[in-house]
Amino acid sequence: MADKLSEIMAWKRREIAALVRPVPPAELAALDNAMPRAPSFAAALRRADGRLAVIAEIKRRSPSAGSIAPGIAAPAQAVKYRAAGASALSVLTDEKFFGGTLDDLRAVTALFRAEPPAIPCLRKDFMVHPIQVRMAREAGASAILIIVRALTDDEIQALHEAAQAAGLDALFEIHHEAELARAVRHGAAIIGVNNRDLAVFTTDLGLSERLIPQFPTDVIAISESGITTAGDAARVRAAGAHGVLVGEALMRAHDPAALLASLARAGR
């Protein structure tokens, strides 16, 4: 398989090109002040009950798995995840490759405002410009994704500063030691190890076991991708993970609530 991440990022840059404009921090701060306060993503990942935090993902398809749940309604899935005890949600908003839209995020956060309690939502997309951060805040997100390997240092800095101005947390996604060092240099407070190589879509939980012990002690550690059983969750918990991000396994599960509960209990 060709380098799929490069293909996706090239497409994303073309997709948002017509939207790109300067987005000063003051504009983002004013937006944050004017909008309802979103629940804290970071706080939700440090569970007081000692359980592993589960970020449950709403994902209809992916380049690696193909079609997963094409007809799923994002709000209905969000309600199921919340009832099952998810600490946070990850909502795919990329349409071309993952079958999501920003309307999915808007619908989920609107539902949570109308029918509390709200749990924090990560805008899961391929972020390249602060205008996407503004759109995330407008849609009610609590956090954005920063894929370190896909961005220049200037782009990472611009996205992180925009997120901070907008009152959003940032999940820095890494895949090897050099990316961990870059994330730390940029002041990342939440770092996720993607066990799936986004260039070729192979998965190895050993990446979390190798990299998470190298994280600064004050960083929230997340293991992403390839978590399908309580045993998988226990492995990454033993390596120091505070939480896991799980999409395909929950979307395909006959009983997602039972699977989510077993993941949260792992390693206690």
pLDDT for the residue 201? 67
* Residue of 162, 75, 164 whose CA lies nearest to 119: 75
- The tokens describing 62, both together, are 């992916």
Delimit the domains of the chain by residue range.
4-15+45-265
H, E, C per residue of 214-247 = HCCCCCEEEEECCCCCHHHHHHHHHCCCCEEEEC
Question: Buried (b) or exposed (e) across 53-67, using 16+ Cβ within 10 A?
Answer: bbbbbbbbbbebeee
- Residues 147-177: tens digit of each pLDDT: 999 999 999 999 999 999 999 999 999 999 9
Catalytic residues: 57, 59, 124, 173, 194, 224-225
* Residue of 40, 56, 133, 53 whose CA lies nearest to 89: 56
In the predicted model, what is the mean pLDDT of the chain?
94
How much of the chain, in percent, has pLDDT values that exceed 90? 84
Q: What is the rounded distance in angstroms from the CA atom of residue 118 to the CA atom of residue 108?
A: 9
pLDDT for the residue 175? 92
- Residues 101-123: tens digit of each pLDDT: 999 999 999 999 999 999 999 99
pLDDT, average across residues 133-148: 98
pLDDT exceeds 50 at position 1: no
What CATH number has the domain spanning 4-15+45-265? 3.20.20.70
| 117 prior amide bond cis, ω within 30 | yes
The whole-model pTM stands at 0.95
